[in-house]
A and B are shown apart, each in its own frame.
Chain A
Amino acid sequence: MSKNDILIKVNQLYKIFGDNSNEALDLVKDGMGKDELLEKCNCVLGLNNINLDISKAKIQVVMGLSGSGKSTLIRHLNRLIEPTSGEILVNEQDILSLSQKELVQFRQNNMSMVFQKFALFPHKTVLQNVGYGLAIQNIPVDEWDTRAKKWISRVGLDGYETYYPGQLSGGMQQRVGLARALATDAEILLMDEAFSALDPLIRSEMQNILLDLQSELHKTIIFITHDLDEALKIGDRIAILRDGSMVQDSDPQKIIMKPADDYVSDFIKDINRARVIQAKSIMTPSKSKSSGATVKEDMVLEDILQIMSDAPSKPVTIEDTKGNITGKIEMVNLIEGMKRPESQGTNITG
């Protein structure tokens, strides 16, 4: 990853809620933990020394349990929450130095947000909701009208323009939320647990809509979630937060193959490894063709297993997207890959 690809840079970001946050900041920098801080200063540690580089046109997922600071982090990016200390650079511009007026400009043009509870304007129609970001920029009505209509039809809500949000189902409301965020043509999309309030089927449908849109629009998306399956499905990179600190930030395959600590292992222990681990994570590098079939390097183990079961003794050849041979996989690799990492232990006794 070259340096130019990084769009958002978060450096040593701290957030402490409560009075005397400056005093508390020194204590935190000296290594005081969340519980002790609460006891001593009556301050809540929101974010603890967060460093994060977010690449252009990628989906960066931020994961963590409730209270881990992920929603706090995303709100720092557009300064809905002011940090206690630290630096946030977007396009090499320090957004913490923006004046109130510049900040308003910045929010109008560079970032838009999708919310967990939709946060649509109940007194506005679908059309007015989607056009809101444009209307407050004083863009003439007939112009934002057409642009908003385009996005409404893009998320599949044709014919609902004059409805009020209260008349729509949850999934449809979030489509409106998504269209509203996309309508401003902002480069950066912040999604705060955007699909968490939806039922599983609709959620998966919305994930597909998002991926579909992303393949065409190439936005930089920061996606907050507490659902690992969702993170693995859409994330190009996953950062895991715990109690306000960053535990691991790496590509999804690495999170599964090499969890940084027990907390991360705990997170990943219930996932179906065969369905998410890809060939490239477990293959043995090799340039020569093996005796078995040839598959792409992003094929998941489950599918490889299907192929190999026909001829278990023949290793399969792995090739990258351009068709170059990069490695091979034998049956034993598959078994190794599906096994949980060491740190989690096993239940076998005797």
Chain B
Amino acid sequence: MFLVWFEKFFINTPWPLIVLGILILAWIGSRSIPVVIGTFLSFMLIGYFGMWEDTMSTLAIILVATFLCISIGIPMGIAMARSNKIQALIVPILDVMQTIPSFVYLIPVVMLLGIGKVPGLIAVCIYAIPPIVRLTNLGIRLVDKDVLEAADSFGANYWQKLFGVQMPLALPTIFAGVNQTIMMALAMVVIASMIGVKGLGLPVLRAISNQYLALGLMNGLAIVVLAIIFDRVTQKFGLRMQKYRNDGKD
């Protein structure tokens, strides 16, 4: 499966290449030297403390989960923005997904699919998908009615309006959703490790049950570091995408 391939790819590739790749991505995303230097130092520390493999596993599941959430969540958000009925249908489902304790849906997932990466991935996605759906919907609905009317008056059809006007104008909001989704996926890593997902969550879990303070702290901090890097890079990227707003008066 995709996830397995991804994880193997991350673990087996020599670490300097991975670090280089991540630094390049960080630069493309943020265009900020401090962020890139911070990223470099963090990964060096992670490697120094021997958490490299776990970090790579976590990275793999986060990336796959985020990719899944985006590819399901954005179309869902678009559908919600198009029709009030669909919105009325999906909102309660999202409420349930966000508030129900994760353990409750871990039980049926494990019962049906057993223990391993796939159920772990599903659990992470259930938890992480609501923000991207909600914010896509919100972003599209908040697009200025006057501008949409203008597009209408020139004879734009639904898809031309969606991809030419609504999505580009909703992008900053949608991006905030992507950011939130990544953060929530990271938060789920520890819980997912209970059902057999490898990665930084596993040592944390072990530390909790054995009261190894140092082990828990170190791996916990590694998660935090990953979170901060993801957050800074995606936020800076989101900001840059709305550059037309910066020098405007709006």
Contacts and interface: CB of A to CB of B under 8 A. Distances in A.
Interface of A: 78, 80, 103-109, 111-113, 115, 117, 119-123, 132-133, 136-137, 164-167, 180, 184, 190
A115 B146 CA distance: 8
Contacts of B157: 104, 136
Contacts of B150: 113, 115, 119-121
Contacts of A122: 147, 169, 244-245, 248, 250
B154 A133 contact: yes
B156 interface: yes
A97 to B, nearest CB: 17
Nearest to A104: B155
Interface in B171-227: none
B249 A107 contact: no
Contact of B244 (A105, A115, A164, A184): A164
Given A164-B248, A166-B244, A166-B249, A123 B153 contact: no
A81 to B, nearest CB: 10
A106 B155 contact: yes
A167 B248 contact: yes
Given A80-B149, A107-B152, A123-B169, A136 B244 contact: no
Contacts of A112: 153-154
17 contacts: A80-B153, A103-B155, A104-B155, A108-B155, A109-B155, A115-B149, A117-B146, A122-B250, A123-B244, A132-B154, A132-B164, A136-B154, A164-B244, A164-B248, A166-B248, A180-B154, A190-B153
B95 interface: no
Given A164-B244, A165-B248, A166-B248, A136 B153 contact: no
Contacts of A167: 247-248
A109 B154 CA distance: 8
B20 to A, nearest CB: 33
B165 interface: yes
A166 B245 contact: yes
B148 to A, nearest CB: 9
Contacts of A103: 155
Closest CB pairs A-B (n = 7): A166-B248, A107-B155, A108-B155, A119-B150, A113-B153, A119-B146, A133-B154
Contacts of A166: 244-245, 247-250
B116 interface: no
Given A115-B149, A136-B156, A190-B153, 16 more contacts: A78-B153, A80-B152, A104-B155, A107-B153, A108-B154, A112-B153, A112-B154, A119-B144, A119-B147, A120-B150, A121-B147, A122-B169, A123-B244, A136-B155, A165-B248, A166-B248
A161 to B, nearest CB: 14
Contacts of A136: 151, 154-157, 160, 164
A122 to B, nearest CB: 6
A223 B139 CA distance: 33
Contacts of A105: 155
Nearest to B165: A121
A211 to B, nearest CB: 23
Nearest to A135: B164
A122 B144 CA distance: 10
Interface string B8-25: 000000000000000000
Contacts of B249: 166
Best-surrounded residue of B144, B153, B168 (most CB of chain A within 10 A): B153
A105 B249 CA distance: 35
Contacts of B147: 119-122
Nearest to A118: B146
A5 to B, nearest CB: 25
A105 B154 CA distance: 9
